[in-house]
Homo-oligomer: A and B are copies of this chain.
């Protein structure tokens, strides 16, 4: 059943295959009156583009976004926005030898089990290319968050077993891996080069912070803000784990260690990651995601073909060594989409006193 739509009020549907005509996103539920141009979207797209960052493949795609609907004279109109990115540099032929083979770590097998049919070209719908549409939609959400001065930033905390040892936000823009520790970033780059020669790939950990998120977002009980963030982040293909605040470390703490005490000046710590009982508490929202290594590797691997016969596979072609750093704007996009949706959800359902105030405004305003 339909699973390509994200959000309840700010609703995004992505569509398109890696080697089809185009990929895109349709946003239904974006409020009117937001200034929006393709340029607003392009900056995020460029960060996700192949060829960015040391771990990236050399595939060249301009990933230029066009807005097909929903904007009039530079402003959103409240009607659906459709963002489209035409596929240009798609070498379908380089995948034809894989059409009868299940690549380890990919969705080839599970897609066939589910659908009885699959578009094998470059992973089809399961390709990381799909995330370009998320980034485009996320850029629109970011414009909405900007009205509340909410800022969403992701960065590399670990790559190939090398951890950032500090969280220096200014470093993030200074290295190609968006790592908040320039020295660690340099060692990560070395690790990438080493593994590239081995025909292998690397996983890592991405950290995400959402700053100035107002208190009160999140809908108990199933749409807690952390639940929706976890679902959003885990929906990114390469992600295998999500933590909020102290995450798995909290499992080894006592209550007195983990509880964030309150003072008249605010919370004393942020083990909760800015979310209490599923509702934002005004502190920065902090999350971490585990990114698995890119499954496409040149090293020989054992697998089977569609006749269930054993075959050896070496995956050539243009592949990244790690989903990091290209996954970083994707993580940001999913957090932006989640927060934008919850902002609008909370607008729908504020405390009734606000109703009365709103009424008075209406009387004067209309």
Least distance between A167 CB and chain B CB atoms (Å): 17
Query: For window 68-116 of chain A, which residues contact chain B by CB distance below 8 Å?
Result: 68-70, 72, 75-82, 84, 102, 104-107, 109-111, 113-116
Per the 8 Å Cβ criterion, residues 233-256 of A in contact with B are 233-235, 237, 240-256
A31-B350, A231-B231 known; A109-B24 Cβ under 8 A: no
Q: Which of A1-27 contact B (CB under 8 A)?
A: 1-6, 8-11, 13-17, 20-24, 26
B219 touches A1 (CB 8 A): yes
B219 touches A2 (CB 8 A): yes
CA A260 to CA B292, docked complex, whole Å: 12
Minimum Cβ distance to chain B for residue A274 (Å): 9
A77 contacts which chain B residues (CB < 8 A)? Answer: 17, 115, 117-119, 124-125
Residues of B with C-beta under 8 A to A214: 362, 366
B14–A80 CB distance below 8 A: yes
A16, closest chain B residue (CB): B69
16 A–B contacts, CB within 8 A, in A order: A2-B11, A15-B80, A16-B69, A22-B69, A23-B69, A105-B258, A105-B272, A110-B215, A116-B353, A222-B232, A230-B233, A241-B251, A255-B296, A261-B302, A263-B302, A344-B348
Evaluate contact between B200 and A254: CB separation under 8 angstroms.
yes
Shortest CB distance A193–B (Å): 14
CB neighbours (8 Å) of A11 from chain B are 2, 5
B235 & A224 in contact (Cβ 8 Å cutoff):
yes
- A71 CB, min distance to chain B CBs, angstroms: 8
Question: What is the copy number of this chain in the assembly?
Answer: 4
Chain B positions within 8 Å of A310 at CB level: 263-264
Size bracket, chain A contacts: 35 or more
For A248, give its contact among B72, B229, B259, B290 (CB under 8 Å).
B290
Pick the most buried of A248, A297, A303: most chain B CB atoms within 10 A of its CB. A248
Compute how far the CA of A147 lies from the CA of B355 in the bound complex, rounded to whole angstroms. 7
Residues of B within 8 A of A355 (CB): 31, 33, 147-148
Asked if A240 and B246 make an inter-chain contact with CB atoms under 8 angstroms apart, the answer reads yes
Q: Are A348 and B1 in contact (CB under 8 A)?
A: yes
Residues of B within 8 A of A280 (CB): 110, 113
Residues of B within 8 A of A245 (CB): 240
Pairs of residues from A and B, 3 with the lowest C-beta to C-beta distance, nearest first = A107-B277, A3-B219, A231-B231
Interface residues of A in 182-240 (CB under 8 A from B): 195, 198, 200-205, 214-224, 226-235, 237, 240
Q: Name the one of B24, B240, B293, B308 contacting A255, with C-beta atoms under 8 angstroms.
A: B293
- Least CB distance, A176 to chain B, in whole angstroms: 19
Which residue from B14, B118, B201, B296 sits with its C-beta under 8 Å from A254?
B201
CB within 8 Å for A104 and B259 given contacts A1-B348, A231-B230, A357-B361: yes
* A273 CB-CB contact with B under 8 Å: yes
Q: Which B residue sits closest to A118, measured CB to CB?
A: B77
Q: How far is the CA of A125 from the CA of B68 in the complex (A)?
A: 12
- In the complex, how many angstroms separate the beta carbon of A164 from the nearest chain B beta carbon? 13
